[in-house]
Amino acid sequence: MKSATAAKPQPKRIETPLNRQYNQIKAKYPGALLLFRVGDFYETFGEDAIRASKILGITLTKRNNGGSNEELAGFPHHSLDTHLPKLVRAGERVAICDQLEDPAVAKGIVRRGVTELVTPGVSFNDNVLDTRRNNYLAAVHFGKADDTFGISFLDISTGEFLASQGNAAYIDKLLQGFNPSEVLYCKRNRQEFGSLFGDKFHTYTLEDWAFTYDFGYNFLKQHFQTTSLKGFGIEGQPDGIIAAGVILHYLNETEHKDLQHITRVTRLEEDRYVWLDRFTIRNLELTVAQQEGGVPLIQILDQTVTPMGARLLRKWLNLPLKEKTLIDERLNMVELLVSDIDLADTLVNHLRQIGDLERLVSKVAVRRINPRELLQLKRSLQHVLPIKELLITALSQNELADPHPGSLKKYADQLNPVSFLIDRIDAELREDPPTLSNQGGIIKPGINAELDELTAIAYSGKDYLLQLQEREVQQTGITSLKVAYNKVFGYYLEVTHAHKNRVPEEWIRKQTLVNAERYITPELKEYEEKILNAEEQIFQIEARMFNEMILAAGEYVGAIQQNARALSVLDVLASFARVAVKNKYVRPQINESKILNIKDGRHPVIEQQLPPGEPYIPNDIYLDDETQQLIIITGPNMAGKSALLRQTALIVLMAQAGSFVPASSAELGLVDKIFTRVGASDNLSRGESTFMVEMTETASILNNLSERSLVLMDEIGRGTSTYDGVSIAWAIAEYLHNKTDCRPKTLFATHYHELNDLAADNSRIKNYNVAVKEMGNKVIFLRKLKEGGSEHSFGIHVAQMAGMPAQIVSRANEILKQLESSHQREDNRENIQKAVPQERELALRIIESGDPKSEAIKEKLRTIDVNRLTPIEALLKLNELLKMAE
Ligand SMILES: Nc1ncnc2c1ncn2[C@@H]1O[C@H](COP(=O)(O)OP(=O)(O)OP(=O)(O)O)[C@@H](O)[C@H]1O
């Protein structure tokens, strides 16, 4: 509602009781759009009405509100389900204010209150939710120490609740991977939040006091009805606890008080999953393509048939495992399903019949399930027992070499057929129930005697009326007599004018038509009342019995949630199996070595996109920490260097997520971190990165390496001049090779042939090139990785292929020849070693020339301890100095 300003006096408004009630409720939910129930409508007023009418395309009107004109827009209450999702998707927080008592019996103004505050991150509404994705609410807590943060995620529609803590890079990674619909954080961190985690999220800020340990700890304890949080493994995560507490607090504030389905909070263990930096997640296009129309990996791998399976696959791809036992457990099941296609098909056919069990059971817990959904729940659950039996028989028949006996049986053991619940629903619930629970038609006959009796009265009326009609015809001799019903008079007797004179006196005339008259009789009215009463009672009894069924189902929430988890795992594994068969993947051999040995590896996405008849050329990759730790891959543009780098990382990731891989064989020593850097110019076009940023980030990779890391460097250094670029790429490769604490496996794609000289002095650096063949003045891409360096760039050939005019191509060739003859590569190594000091000299000369900036630069130089500087730091410093000098 508009507020009066001091400068412009507003006409004095008379506050009606309804106005006052609205204002009081509105004030309690600042920032929310208030849907105010009046009779059969939800109304919005003032600013809310303007926004609602824009988003929903509903008419905006004005009403005279005690002297001022106020905007008003509303819609019928039954269209809430269509309008609410639109408002939420537009980023609105919507407070739904309902009538809390029956207007017919209310004394004075009807009591109203907000029954739910729907926000982008908190929704049960099927129209707001995407079945194949989770809808997460996140909370981020900025810890006391620098660079420690707590984080928590909740999907209220499934009850999944997670907490963790770590540094900014970790939090950023989780936010990117989980992609929450709404993020909560503390008001005072407004600026830092944006600069650390970007502005792509819907956010909501809360007051300081909600971000305290005691508050969060107690809130969680109270919710789970435990004396401590030890059982959840989050005791040692104070910042994570604060974030999780904030989530529960927020649910409370938004009137979400039925939370029985949130049965646990799980610690997301940073060290259980492969570390993927932000660029790797983006560059490998695991779940999101970089460009519109692009195909992410998940699209190739997702053959899941249940919504919860689809959601789980997304999670598995973002969080690959690094524990051999767990990975093998998944791979064993995939292998079993690959080898027994009948089993896989039968399993999938059962799974297909299972709806969104996870979200259905949440609705049971919060008592929002409707009769039709309860039927769906029953039908889904009916497939649990057959699946369990299927697995048990299959497991006993298939003697699979299982290194961890019992791990396969685990899946079968987790399934609980909940027969008792199924039997009850089956006995009571009709097979064609409605979506509403207050209009009858829910309960089967033969369950409740009172209900059956009332049904007989209410619905056997036809016979009764026929009898009555016959009796009256005989008594009065009116052969045209008919009993009928309409909404205005209820039941009546109709007599044509021809028989009017035979109508008995006690009949009461109600209406005269052109050729007939309508009457009622006391008997008819008495009967009518009985029917209507019976119907009212039927509705009440059925609603009560339905509620009892929900309460009974509520006892099984834990068991059904466990079923949903086990079924989603089976769904993902069956999907892996089917994709493996379809795309000819093999089982990777996971071990604890430091060797990566892939034979005939392929890129899972590119191979699916090549035109028919154009095969994907497979390649071998071998890396270890003894003989071949870093390979320099040269080759012309378009040769397939990037594809090779990415496919190697994708194969590792797919394997550690439990999938078979596109190769003829793959022996994989576990990887614990994957880092990717792509040369700046790739990102520059999107205005994201500059050379400086590229360097800072490369430096941060170099500081976080482990001995099981896999590093992809794709044309690093190309964002600057050739000499700078070569020197930087050189220094980085050298650094990776010479690191004393670990030997990260690295693929280094580059255009700089100069880097081939590195192999001479560094025993674990090897040169490879992606082969091309020159035929006359044409280049044929063989896409085969070969040992050895390469001599040319073939950039001009690529230009020719792209349709560059012949004149330009031949002129470019001339210039190239000239340049090559004047820049003989006598001793590159020496040149490169010299390059840095030369630039340093230049910087010093500028300083000596009496430039006013010289003091600042001298000061900077004095702080540099040359003996402790790494090559990269030296380059960064130099860059900084040059900037100052410019
Ligand atoms: N092994 C392969 N078999 C078949 N086609 C391939 C193969 N590798 C790459 N390609 C095709 O070649 C295209 C170019 O590959 P890629 O981008 O990896 O080249 P590049 O060497 O990194 O080039 P640039 O240096 O210009 O970035 C890919 O989009 C793909 O269509």
Annotated binding residue at 638?
A: yes
Indicate whether 78 belongs to any domain.
yes
Nearest alpha carbon, ligand 1 atom 14 = 638
Q: Examine the fold and report which residue of 769, 793, 817 is the final residue of a domain before the chain moves on.
A: 793
Same domain? 86 vs 34: yes
Query: How would DSSP label each residue in 804-830?
Result: --HHHHHHHHHHHHHHHHHS--S-HHH
Residue 183 CA, ligand 1 centroid: distance in Å: 39
Q: How far is CA 212 from CA 207, 250, 252, 264, in A?
A: 11, 14, 16, 21
Token pair in block for residue 819:
């340049």
Residue 639 CA, ligand 1 centroid: distance in Å: 5
Residue 783 CA, ligand 1 centroid: distance in Å: 8
Same domain? 578 vs 649: no
Same domain? 345 vs 458: no
Residue 317 CA, ligand 1 centroid: distance in Å: 24
* Ligand 1 atom having least distance to the Cα of 602: 1
- d(CA 621, CA 409) in angstroms, rounded, equals 36
Same domain? 647 vs 788: yes
Nearest alpha carbon, ligand 1 atom 8 = 640
* Ligand 1 atom having least distance to the Cα of 770: 21
Annotated binding residue at 166?
A: no
- d(CA 113, CA 249) in angstroms, rounded, equals 19
Beta bridge mates, 666: 598
* Ligand 1 atom having least distance to the Cα of 615: 4
Minimal CA–CA distance to 29: which of 202, 183, 253, 257?
A: 253
- d(CA 699, CA 873) in angstroms, rounded, equals 8
Nearest alpha carbon, ligand 1 atom 15 = 640
Q: Which of 291, 642, 768 to mutate to test the pocket of ligand 1 (most atoms within 8 A of CB)?
A: 642
Nearest alpha carbon, ligand 1 atom 10 = 640
Residue 644 CA, ligand 1 centroid: distance in Å: 8
Same domain? 364 vs 498: no
Nearest alpha carbon, ligand 1 atom 7 = 640
* Ligand 1 atom having least distance to the Cα of 618: 1
Kindly list the averaged pLDDT for each block of 10 residues, start to end, along the chain of length 886.
37 72 90 92 93 92 75 90 89 90 81 89 81 91 90 93 91 88 93 87 90 93 88 88 95 86 87 84 87 91 96 94 93 90 93 93 90 95 94 74 58 92 95 87 92 83 79 88 82 88 87 89 84 87 94 93 95 96 97 96 95 92 94 85 94 97 97 83 46 68 87 80 77 87 92 84 89 72 82 67 73 72 52 47 48 66 69 69 70
Token pair in block for residue 568:
């989603």
Q: Examine the fold and report which residue of 83, 118, 153 is the final residue of a domain before the chain moves on.
A: 118
* Ligand 1 atom having least distance to the Cα of 609: 31
Using DSSP's 3-state secondary structure scheme, residue 645 falls into helix
Annotated binding residue at 28?
A: no
Same domain? 508 vs 617: no
Annotated binding residue at 637?
A: yes
Using DSSP's 3-state secondary structure scheme, residue 250 falls into helix
Annotated binding residue at 177?
A: no
Residue 59 sits in a domain whose CATH number is 3.40.1170.10
Nearest alpha carbon, ligand 1 atom 4 = 616
Nearest alpha carbon, ligand 1 atom 5 = 616
Residue 727 CA, ligand 1 centroid: distance in Å: 26
Annotated binding residue at 164?
A: no
Indicate whether 278 belongs to any domain.
no
What is the pLDDT, as a whole number, of residue 871? 61
- d(CA 599, CA 317) in angstroms, rounded, equals 23
Same domain? 490 vs 595: no
Nearest alpha carbon, ligand 1 atom 12 = 640
Residue 647 CA, ligand 1 centroid: distance in Å: 11
Same domain? 651 vs 610: yes
Q: What backbone torsions phi and psi does residue 789 show, to the nearest 5 degrees?
A: -85, 180
Q: Which residues contact 421 (CB under 8 A, 6 or more apart)?
A: 381, 552, 553, 555, 556
Same domain? 540 vs 561: no
What is the pLDDT, as a whole number, of residue 4? 32
Annotated binding residue at 545?
A: no
Annotated binding residue at 884?
A: no
Q: Which residues contact 654 (CB under 8 A, 6 or more apart)?
A: 297, 301, 588, 604, 660, 661
Residue 679 sits in a domain whose CATH number is 3.40.50.300
Indicate whether 802 belongs to any domain.
no
* Ligand 1 atom having least distance to the Cα of 635: 21
Could you tell me if 350 and 420 are in contact, meaning their C-beta atoms sit under 8 angstroms apart? no
**Residues with C-beta less than 6 Å from any ligand 1 atom:** 606, 616-617, 635, 637-643, 783
Nearest alpha carbon, ligand 1 atom 16 = 640
* Ligand 1 atom having least distance to the Cα of 646: 18
Using DSSP's 3-state secondary structure scheme, residue 745 falls into strand
Same domain? 142 vs 104: no
Nearest alpha carbon, ligand 1 atom 25 = 637
Q: Which of 295, 614, 638, 682 to mutate to test the pocket of ligand 1 (most atoms within 8 A of CB)?
A: 638
Q: Which residues contact 321 (CB under 8 A, 6 or more apart)?
A: 272, 273, 274, 327, 656, 657, 658
Indicate whether 125 belongs to any domain.
no
- d(CA 116, CA 97) in angstroms, rounded, equals 8
* Ligand 1 atom having least distance to the Cα of 619: 1
Residue 788 CA, ligand 1 centroid: distance in Å: 19
Could you tell me if 703 and 663 are in contact, meaning their C-beta atoms sit under 8 angstroms apart? no
Indicate whether 821 belongs to any domain.
no
Residue 657 CA, ligand 1 centroid: distance in Å: 25
Nearest alpha carbon, ligand 1 atom 26 = 637
Indicate whether 347 belongs to any domain.
yes
Which residue bears the tokens 């466990």?
562
Confidence (pTM): 0.79
Domain of 842 in residue numbering reads as 834-885
Residue 488 sits in a domain whose CATH number is 1.10.1420.10
Indicate whether 293 belongs to any domain.
no
Domain count, the chain: 6
Query: How would DSSP label each residue in 330-385?
Result: HHHHHHHHHH-HHHHHHHHHHHHT---HHHHHHHHHTT---HHHHHHHHHHHTTHH
Nearest alpha carbon, ligand 1 atom 28 = 640
Residue 794 CA, ligand 1 centroid: distance in Å: 14
Nearest alpha carbon, ligand 1 atom 9 = 640
Residue 640 CA, ligand 1 centroid: distance in Å: 3
Residue 8 CA, ligand 1 centroid: distance in Å: 68
* Ligand 1 atom having least distance to the Cα of 714: 22
* Ligand 1 atom having least distance to the Cα of 751: 25
Query: How would DSSP label each residue in 688-724?
Result: ---HHHHHHHHHHHHTS--TTEEEEEESTTTTS-HHH
Residue 182 sits in a domain whose CATH number is 3.30.420.110
DSSP-assigned letter for residue 777: T
Q: Which of 290, 291, 606 to mutate to test the pocket of ligand 1 (most atoms within 8 A of CB)?
A: 606
Q: Examine the fold and report which residue of 741, 760, 793 is the final residue of a domain before the chain moves on.
A: 793
Residue 802 CA, ligand 1 centroid: distance in Å: 15
Query: How far does CA 61 lie from the centroid of its chain?
Result: 39
Nearest alpha carbon, ligand 1 atom 24 = 637
What is the pLDDT, as a whole number, of residue 830? 52
Measure the CA angle with vertex 843, ends 840 and 846; round to 5°: 150
Minimal CA–CA distance to 390: which of 346, 433, 428, 420?
A: 346
Same domain? 737 vs 593: yes
Residue 643 CA, ligand 1 centroid: distance in Å: 5
Indicate whether 100 belongs to any domain.
yes
Same domain? 579 vs 594: no
Residue 678 CA, ligand 1 centroid: distance in Å: 15
640: left (phi over 0), alpha (psi -120 to 50) or beta: left
